[in-house]
Each structure stands twice: as C-alpha cells, then as structure tokens.
Chain A
Amino acid sequence: MPPLARRNLFHDKVRLTVTLTGIVFAIVLIVVQIGLFIGFTSATSNLIEHSGADLWIGAKGLAYLEQAGPFSERKLQQVRGTPGVVVAEKYILTFGRWQRPDGRKESIVLVGMNPDLPLGGPWNLTAGRVQDLKSADAIIVDELYRQKLGVTQLGQVVELNGHRARIVGFTQGIRSFTTSPYVFASFKNAQTIADLGEDRAFYLLVKAAPGTQIRKLRSDLAARLRDVDIYTTGEFSRMTQFYWMFTTGAGIAVLLAAALGLVVGIVIVAQTIYATTMDHLREFGTLKAMGASNGYIYRVIIQQAAISAVMGYALGMVASVFIVRGSREGGAAILFPWELAVSMFFLTLLMCIGASLVSINKVTRIDPAMVFKG
C-alpha cells in the first residue's frame, strides 16, 4: 500500500504534535497511577513477602498485618512440637511513638524479631548487621525515613515510647504504606519498648521443613491451636494488600486516576484522528469511488492510529522512565515493572484504535457520489 496513512498523518505537523502530546500525557498519567498502585500494594505487604516465613499465626480475627493484637506465646511450644515445623519464632508488630532529637513526635511501627534467624527481619542493609540488634537498645531504621525520624548517623540515640534506643544499622528501600516507618529491634528489646507482658507476642512465624505441604501443615496446626488464625505468607500478603488498597479506598482513588488518564487519552486522540479524517474526507470518497472496500479504508485509518500509537508509546515511555526515576527518592515509590511497560504498549494501541472508531464510523457513511460534486 502506498504510504497514504503515514503521509496524511505527517502532513499536518501541528495536529500530529497534538495527537502525540495527548498520547504521551495519557501514558504518563496511567503509568504513574498504576505504578503508584503497584508501589503502594507492594509497600503494604513487603514485610510479609520478605519475612522468609511460610505461615503466620495471629490472634483470632486477623485481617491485615498492622491489625494484630497480642496473644499468649505459650502456644509457641505446641507449634514447635508439630511435625513439619523447622523454625517457629515470636514476632512483634505494633505502633509506637518516636521522639526526634528536636522533640517532635512521629508514629512508627515497631518490629521485634529474633536477630539470629532470618525470619521477619530487616533486609537490604546499607550499614550495620542484623546481629547488631542483639545489643541492648539497638534498632535499625530505613534510610528513606532519615529526615522524617530526624536521624543523621549511626550510633545516634533516640527515644522510643519513652525508652532509650540506639541506631545500629540502616536499610534501604523498606517502605511502609502507612506513614509510620518500620523500626526493627530484637524481640526482647521490642518487648521492653512496647511494654509487652513477658509471655505475649503478636505473631508466631513458622518455617516449614523443605517438602512439607504448607496447607496440610496449616490444618495440623489449626487442629492443635485454639483462638488463632493461621495464614500462608501468600494469603496474608494478599489480605493485607486488599485491606489497604480496597477496604480503605486508597487504591480505588489511584485506579480511578489511571482510568481518567485513559479516558483523556482516548478523547484527545479520537478528536485529532477525527479532524485528520475530516480533512481528507474527499480522498476517502475518491478511494470508495475507485472501488476500495470499507476494509481497505479502515486499514488506512487504523494504520494512522497505530503509527500514532507507536510514536506516542516511545515518547511516553521515555517520559515515564524519567518520572519513575525521580520518584525513587520521594515518599511514594512508583514501580514500573516490565509487565506494565509491555501492557502499556497494547493499551496505547487499543486506545488509539478505539479512538479511530469515530472516524471509521464517519467514513463508512461517506457517499462515494460526493466525488462528482465540484
């Protein structure tokens, strides 16, 4: 096919610019919103996902990570005695008050775990070691929250729930979805800081022996323990994600903004493709008179839409990558996995072709007899 679609598209540079701007705008809006959604979602559950545990046991009525209440740790012995359990550890996860050196108070989430086991502990350390948590008063925080927590250096002493605490390490990129940063401590230190009774814990984390059927193990545990809820790590992660993203409405807002981007994109692109079609209406009439089938003419219009889509996609990806990079240091991470990039290509294509349907409808109705009119 002679390059009618491409030539007509590039013929009007101003309109092409408007089309591409519309597509890029829509892509960036969608990528940012969906990227935020993914970022938020992963932040809600990253502690669970990185826990290394197979099962989470909490007091009955458990719905999401931060909601847990303390229960008796005496169940720990029963858990450890269950065949298939390799490791079972107490775990603390509770809100606390942090006092900055300048006196300002910040809410934090205190995480207490066993520094000798890789279960529910901090990861991605940039300074210090997990074992450093064994010393008295030791805590580890994330670099992202240095400013929020008023932290400047290792060894700094702060106040947590009125108790003295000392920073022995930093992690990088452990975001919390609630605005309260995670503060890691040994189980014992956390117990003191949280003023938790001797025999209380928030969770029991279970690691199963290799080859164990997790669901089977869970029902074995459920048969032995009373007044607890037991979830696999995957289930608990999804429950927590669902709670924060949908029950609270946070995720809906973000997804609505993404949908808005799509609508804006479709409207702008539909408008400009339609204007281009109207400019060339006589040519489409001529094509019809020459015997072109509707399919042939649709192909010309869809080609225009597809060329716009591919160009807009390329520009939109460049813009998105810059924005995503810029967000890394900020409070909200926009995640941009390759699956999103690939999906965006098809979404852009679909958006542009969808937008050209208005034009296709118009061209279908052209009366080829128009070509005889002066």
Chain B
Amino acid sequence: MQAAIAVHNVTKTYSAGDAAVHALDGVDLSVQAGEVVFLMGPSGSGKTTLLSIMGCILQPTSGSVRIRGREVAGLAERDLPAIRLAHVGFVFQGFNLFPTLSAGENVELALDLKGIRGHEARRRAQELLDQVGIGEKYGVYPADLSGGQKQRVAIARALAGAPEILLADEPTAALDSHVGRRILELVRNLAHSQGVAVVIVTHDSRMLEFADRLVHIEDGRIVAPEEAAIPALAVSMLDAAPLGVSSA
C-alpha cells in the first residue's frame, strides 16, 4: 500500500551564523492513510523540523519527501503553498485562529483558500464544526471560546477541504490534560473514520493510548523505542513529578 506520506533519508542543516546545526540526520518515516503516529523526543531533537518538512513548509537539505508517491523535496519555493493547500492540514500549539473571524468564518477561510465559497462554504463549515462537536459555536469569536473549543475549531479548519495529511505540533500543550485527552481522542477518531494520515508531536506520554504507533527521535535520528533515552514510562513518571518535562 502506498504511504500517504513517506520521507526517506532526510537531512536538514540550519546555518546559524557561522555554525551549522544538523537538525535532522537521515530520517526515514512513512505514515499510512488513517494511521496516527506520535512523534516524541527531547527538546531540540528535531520534531518540529521534521513536521515542517513533512508539511512542505521547509525543504530538506537532502533526501526524499513523497506525498502519495509524488516527490516534493526538490520543488521550487513558490510551488510549496499549493502542495500544502491540497494535501496538508496543520494544528498548532497556540491554535492560531483568526481572532477577528468567528469560529465558522475561520473554517470558511480555509475553504475559501480551496475555492469553496458562499452558501456551500457555510454548509461545509457547519458540518465540520458539527464533526468536532462544537456545531453550536459557529458565530462565536475565538476570544469567547475555551482552549479546548479553540483547538476543535483549529482541527475543523485543518480538515476543511479534506487533506490526506494532518500535522499537529504539541496540540495539547496549552490545554488541561483531560481536555487534551478528548482532543486527541477526537483526532484519532477522525483519522480512522476519514482515512487521514496524522502525525502528532507530543511530550505527553499519558496520551499514548491514542497513538497507533510511536516514533522516537533523538539528535535528529529516529531511534527504536527501547533505545530511547527517555522511554515512555520514564516520561510519564517525570510528568507526574512537580517539575515535569511537559510543563517546559
């Protein structure tokens, strides 16, 4: 079966002044349609960098990135927005909603980018908000929504226009853990029912039950779970402690 997204032997080197930072060093990762992958690793290990490359926001220094078999690694900068628009939805830690637009209009904007407008856009936006469980919040502005509701709007917005890939960078970090659990549960259910390939960066090992697969990354390399410096169990113990990593 063809992966929704497959990266192969990807490296990324940032030049920070004179120094070069090797953020990714030969990463291989494929995600199938309908699969939920959790990407875990210490701070600075390259999680966001990998997510950015998978989402065509960054170009890798070398290696291959295939979206449904199509190579996108060598594309020109100006061709990337169209790829993102067609294939990728993003969910961010800080929600990144448009504060002057209502919940429904936030979703309509994403549909507008894909050329869906007017009555049809309103109908679909309502449908998407219904799907994430806040159908009654259509006309409410982000400032008047709770954190969990905001992230639900963001998920509805990311899924507008039915992308094959959903990428989320610490989507629950700004939420209470029980709210975060319900968000991840929602994402998993949507991924399974709609066949979306999902990659979620998270520090929070209490959420592991919502993953189909865990991927650990350290110093820019994917490592086997048993080799991970901070195994899932240890992370969950740290979390429980007063100075847990998840609060960083």
Contacts and interface: CB of A to CB of B under 8 A. Distances in A.
Interface stretch (A91-99, A190-198, A254-262, A290-298): A290-298
B96 A282 contact: yes
A7 interface: yes
B85 A372 contact: no
A290 B94 contact: no
Contact of B98 (A286, A288, A374): A286
Interface of A is mostly: helix
A372 B93 CA distance: 7
Nearest to B169: A372
A372 B201 CA distance: 11
Interface residues of A, number: 25
A292 B113 contact: yes
A4 B98 contact: yes
B81 A293 contact: yes
Interface stretch (B27-35, B37-45, B104-112, B178-186): B104-112
Contact of B57 (A11, A292, A369, A374): A369
A368 B57 contact: yes
A1 B96 contact: no
A187 to B, nearest CB: 74
Contacts of B98: 4, 283, 286
B11 to A, nearest CB: 17
Contacts of A374: 93-94
A291 B113 CA distance: 8
Interface string A156-175: 00000000000000000000
B241 to A, nearest CB: 23
Contacts of A11: 99-100
Contacts of A372: 48, 51-52, 92-93, 169
Contacts of A8: 100
Nearest to B102: A2
B84 A289 contact: yes
Interface residues of B, number: 32
B82 A293 contact: yes
Contact of A371 (B83, B90, B105, B109): B90
Contacts of A289: 55, 57, 84, 90
Contacts of A290: 84-85, 90, 110, 113, 157
A295 B101 CA distance: 21
A288 B84 CA distance: 9
Contacts of A292: 81, 85, 113
A371 B96 contact: yes
A92 B104 CA distance: 79
Contacts of A282: 96
Which one of A7, A287, A289, A369 has the greatest number of beta carbons of chain B within 10 Å?
A: A289
B58 interface: yes
Contacts of B191: none
B88 interface: yes
B58 A296 contact: no
Contacts of B57: 289, 368-369, 371
A288 B81 CA distance: 7
Contacts of A293: 81-82
Given A282-B96, A290-B113, A369-B57, 6 more contacts: A2-B105, A11-B99, A287-B113, A289-B57, A291-B82, A372-B169
> Which 5 residue pairs spanning A and B have beta carbons closest together?
A291-B85, A7-B100, A291-B84, A2-B105, A286-B96
Interface of A: 1-4, 7-8, 11, 282-283, 285-294, 296, 368-369, 371-372, 374
Interface of B: 48, 51-52, 55, 57-58, 81-86, 88, 90, 92-94, 96, 98-101, 105-106, 108-110, 112-113, 117, 157, 169
